[in-house]
């Protein structure tokens, strides 16, 4: 198939595009390659995609443009006939949304609208897009289920992702566009974002510097390894959303519809405390962390826990990588990427990244 992957220079987008190329698909990537975090790691990911395309002899094109640019998006869709669209581009980060909410409006709302419009007029067979576990917000009934309402997000980032789900439903209803939204649960792994906890913890422990541990490390997260996420994304994309004819408007299921619309969780279904997560990093590094124990941050959700049974039921897959195995794979990548010869310059570069 010929597949558009937005955000292909990003963490999950890169892994998804690479997997698609490896299985024999043609990939067009669309990414602004902005400087929210160090663009060098994005450029390195793009070089790997180029190399993968050469090795697999599959077509690959990288478009550098902003999804908020309606003309650029329209030109992309006019030039290419896509069998699927996998939309993973977004302004990420929970805490950054407290500082710069307008960037989330541009990327997550305007950009997504442009993607929906392009899919509508191009009669795309299936749009699969990234949502987030953060939409569950103030919910406390565990594990989180797609069939329960998620109407109380605690950060603007989560609110924009919840809006994406509702926007997708309107296009599924009005124009028959099949859409699948995927609520990712705390994704980690090789080639991850430098602004995320695993990256920060690893570089600080190696530098013998303290790590900030909020909520005293007692909150739990359903940490999900990136390869598991990618497997779920691709399987969901391959399986085109269809209307749920048993859907009851008197008792509406928020995860399905009488339109070709659905929502899935993708989580490990095995939450652990942040302290256990740090223990996995310490084990992989062979070093102990210096912990700066702090209270819960504003906007942080105390716990996340995914019910991924619907994903398994529909596409036959459920994430299962343990935190200790996944973290070890990240540390292996980290050591290889930040080689000893560039350690001193790398440490200074990483310390300059956004907190």
C-alpha–C-alpha distance, residues 222 and 25, integer Å: 31
Q: Are 188 and 326 spatial neighbours (Cβ–Cβ below 8 Å)?
A: yes
Give which of 42, 320, 31, 342 is closest to 195, Cα–Cα. 42
Q: Which of 60, 104, 157, 338 is catalytic?
A: 157
Q: How many CB atoms lie within 10 A of CB 336?
A: 9
Give which of 195, 186, 191 is closest to 332, Cα–Cα. 191
Tokens representing 188?
Answer: 């980690």
C-alpha–C-alpha distance, residues 42 and 14, integer Å: 9
Q: By three-state DSSP, how is residue 74 classified?
A: helix
Q: Name the β-bridge partners of 48.
A: none
Contacts of 113 by beta carbon, 8 Å cutoff, 6+ apart: 167
**What Rg, from alpha-carbon coordinates, does the chain have?**
20
Tokens representing 38?
Answer: 């160090």
Q: How many CB atoms lie within 10 A of CB 240?
A: 15
Q: How many CB atoms lie within 10 A of CB 47?
A: 10
For the chain, the residue count is 355
Contacts of 109 by beta carbon, 8 Å cutoff, 6+ apart: 160, 163, 164
Q: Are 164 and 107 spatial neighbours (Cβ–Cβ below 8 Å)?
A: no
CA distances from 242 to 32, 33, 179, 248 (A): 32, 34, 9, 15
Q: Are 171 and 179 spatial neighbours (Cβ–Cβ below 8 Å)?
A: yes
36 catalytic? Reply is no
The residues carrying an active-site annotation are 157
């Amino acid at each position: 198939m010929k597949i558009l992957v937005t955000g292909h220079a990003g963490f999950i987008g890169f892994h998804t595009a690479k997997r698609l190329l490896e299985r024999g698909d043609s990939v067009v990537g669309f990414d602004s390659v902005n400087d929210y975090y160090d663009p060098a790691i994005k450029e390195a990911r793009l070089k790997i995609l180029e190399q993968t395309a050469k090795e697999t002899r599959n077509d690959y094109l990288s478009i550098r443009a902003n999804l908020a640019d309606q003309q650029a998006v329209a030109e992309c869709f006019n030039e290419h006939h896509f069998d699927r669209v996998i939309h993973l581009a977004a302004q990420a980060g929970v805490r950054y949304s407290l500082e710069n909410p307008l960037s989330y409006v541009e990327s997550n709302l305007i950009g997504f609208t442009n993607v929906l419009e392009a899919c509508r007029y191009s009669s795309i067979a299936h749009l699969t897009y990234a949502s987030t576990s953060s939409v569950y917000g103030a919910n406390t009934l565990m594990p989180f289920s797609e069939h329960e309402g998620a109407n109380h997000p605690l950060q603007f980032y989560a609110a924009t992702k919840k809006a994406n789900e509702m926007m997708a439903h309107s296009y599924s209803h009005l124009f028959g566009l099949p859409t699948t939204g995927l609520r990712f649960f705390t994704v980690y792994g090789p080639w991850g974002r430098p602004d995320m906890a695993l990256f920060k913890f690893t570089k600080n422990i190696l530098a013998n510097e303290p790590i900030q541990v909020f909520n005293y490390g007692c909150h739990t997260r359903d940490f999900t390894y990136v390869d598991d996420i990618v497997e779920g994304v691709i399987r969901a994309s391959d399986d085109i959303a269809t209307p749920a004819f048993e859907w009851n408007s008197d008792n509406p299921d928020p995860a399905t519809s009488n339109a070709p619309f659905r929502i899935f969780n993708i989580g490990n279904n095995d939450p652990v405390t942040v302290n256990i997560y740090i223990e996995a990093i310490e084990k992989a590094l062979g070093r102990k962390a210096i912990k700066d124990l702090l209270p819960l941050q504003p906007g942080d959700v105390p716990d996340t826990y995914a019910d991924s049974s619907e994903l398994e039921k529909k596409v036959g897959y459920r994430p299962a990588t343990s935190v200790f195995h996944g973290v070890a794979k990240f540390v292996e990548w980290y050591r290889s990427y930040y080689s000893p010869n560039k350690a001193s310059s790398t440490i200074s570069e990483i310390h300059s990244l956004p907190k």
